[in-house]
Chains A and B, each alone.
Chain A
Amino acid sequence: MSDMTRADVCAAAIADAFKDDGEIFASPMGLLPMLGVRLARLTSNPDLVISDGESLFLAGTPPLFAKGDVVEGWIPFRKVFDVVAYGKRHVMMGATQVDKHGNQNISAIGDFARPKRQLLGSRGAPGNTVNNRTSYWVPKHSPRVFVEAVDIVSGVGPARAKAAGAGAARYNDIHRIVSNLGVFDVKGPDDTVRLLSVHPGVTVDEVRGNTGFDLAVDGDVPTTREPSMEELIVIREVLDPKGLRFKEVPDGA
């Protein structure tokens, strides 16, 4: 479709990150991850368990920020922690910084003792990354986000998890990093970030130029798949008719 947007491509790429997860709790943080997860549930993985982001498991798949009509479970925060430890969960978090080794920072920029910029705090990132599958969404790919080494390690990448021992490494599973430019995993040499695909209209050099470390690239890099007609209809007419996705990934970007 000629009028396919970058946001639609990102939504489909996020949906693909969840398509092989089976019957687990998909926890998206942020708007595009929520859209992508719901897209996966309506297309490639109807078994996904989703919530309203508050305390309810939703039997249906409502549009972004709409109330679900049928509820299939209760998931207050205390039970979220239970599911994290149980492991049947895939969370897609944001990342103020993500580094060459797939470590993520949402805690603070600068020195922890006296940060230049205090962010949220580590939230659940340390626990997520050593318990359940974790992915990251970066709406604005830049060298300020993709850095050589994060200032503070909130989310633990595979190399750090291995160094911390079996207790940390056993369930460490950094699955995908999806940005507005491409899709990545952490299976480069020595557990580093590797470019899996570039979005339509993006070049490998453009991704490299916007990445603050030496990115692993295996041979010819494919283009991220375009969303199908069915997916575009679901995105536009069912899940996000108001176009909220363009707030995160502007049209034409």
Chain B
Amino acid sequence: MTRKPRDKRMTIDEVVAELESGMTIGIGGWGPRRKPMALVRAILRSDLEDLTLVSWGGADVGLLTRAGKVRKLVYAFVSLDSIPLEPNFQRARQAGTIPEVVELDEGMFQTGLRAAAQRLPFLPMRAGLGSDVLVNNPWIRTVTSPYDDAEELVAVPALKLDVALVHLNRADMHGNATYLGPDPYFDDLFCMAADRAYVSVEQVVDTAGLTVDTPVQRLLLSRMMVTGVVETPRGAHFTTCTPDYERDERFQKAYAAAASGSDEDWTAFEERFLSGDEAAYQAAVDAFAEEAAQ
């Protein structure tokens, strides 16, 4: 009998059942690109609260802050790209409903994840020096080079995560996963910075299938970094998941309009798209697309 690595396939709800209120959760992707939105939507439906969110933010941050799930937000920007300012995030910041906010330079953010991934307390870099990142986060310290230059640099603290959630194109049942689009973003770092990492994918395939028509360099995640695998087609909607699909600009526009509209507008959006499970969401998105095409 051949022994194989374990099968890590789970459902969306099984992933969320393993999360707890108060956790620090890193969300992969970048702005409105390849975000694990199906998992984010499942958190929205859950009773999780008091989360610390670590994200180069897009609608993931917008949705979770609007829903009041976030006690602390660590970000460098929050944007929808074609719509530069994320309306739900903007609203939450202006209403003061995110109790604690840590705004970093976007490179510091990578360095912080890298420090966590390397199990270091910090890594030095220049970014942050002289800027209000250090003024608004007085807990971030500097460190003096022990060498002759004696330069003072930022000691970027490790962004240690309890859990990482990422979305890639393909994985096998063991957690090896490939990205097929233009940019890996930082999903490997998120997984390595976390105690547990869950990867959702468009499709689960055989291990051999991962490299049958794809260069091995696209295997971003090794199963040793991954706790659970979820197959969730169109699970990054409405963000990009190139080449499986691009951003749903029409839907994003509708999202942004509802988010920047009245409370009634937002409630209507929530009721139409976010009140059911993932299958209901995808069906509502299909209906929206059909309506728009008419």
A168 within 8 A of B: yes
Q: In the bound complex, do residue B93 and residue A108 qualify as a contact, i.e. CB atoms below 8 Å apart?
A: yes
Considering the complex, give the chain B residue whose CB is closest to the CB of A106.
B77
Q: Which residues does chain A contribute within 8 Å of B94, judged by CB atoms? A: 114-118
Q: In the bound complex, do residue B129 and residue A165 qualify as a contact, i.e. CB atoms below 8 Å apart?
A: yes
Q: Which residues does chain B contribute within 8 Å of A49, judged by CB atoms? A: none
Q: In the bound complex, do residue B130 and residue A121 qualify as a contact, i.e. CB atoms below 8 Å apart?
A: no
B14 within 8 A of A: no
A229 within 8 A of B: no
CA distance A122 to B134 in the complex (A): 12
Q: In the bound complex, do residue B129 and residue A152 qualify as a contact, i.e. CB atoms below 8 Å apart?
A: no
Report the minimum CB–CB distance from B77 to chain A (whole Å).
Answer: 4
Q: Which of B44-52, B84-92, B163-171 contacts A (4 or more CB under 8 A)?
A: B84-92
Contacts of A112-166 to chain B: CB distance below 8 A: 112-127, 129-131, 152-156, 160-161, 163-166
- Identify B130's interface contact among A85, A112, A113, A130, CB under 8 A: A130
Q: Which of A75-83, A177-185, A192-200, A240-248 contacts B (4 or more CB under 8 A)?
A: A75-83
Q: Which residues does chain A contribute within 8 Å of B89, judged by CB atoms? A: 118
With A123-B106, A154-B132, A167-B151 already in contact, the answer to whether A130 and B90 are too (CB < 8 A) is no
Q: Which residues does chain B contribute within 8 Å of A69, judged by CB atoms? A: none
With A114-B96, A120-B84, A166-B151 already in contact, the answer to whether A153 and B182 are too (CB < 8 A) is no
A107 within 8 A of B: yes
A56 within 8 A of B: yes
The 5 closest A-B pairs by CB, nearest first: A127-B127, A121-B77, A168-B129, A164-B130, A126-B131
Can you list 29 A-B contacts (CB < 8 A)? Answer: A56-B182, A76-B182, A84-B107, A84-B127, A112-B136, A113-B101, A114-B93, A115-B94, A118-B90, A121-B77, A121-B78, A122-B76, A122-B104, A122-B133, A123-B76, A124-B107, A124-B127, A126-B128, A127-B105, A130-B126, A130-B127, A154-B132, A155-B131, A156-B129, A164-B129, A166-B149, A166-B151, A166-B152, A168-B126
Q: Which residues of A contact B (CB under 8 A)?
A: 54-56, 76-78, 81, 84-85, 107-108, 112-127, 129-131, 152-156, 160-161, 163-168, 170-172
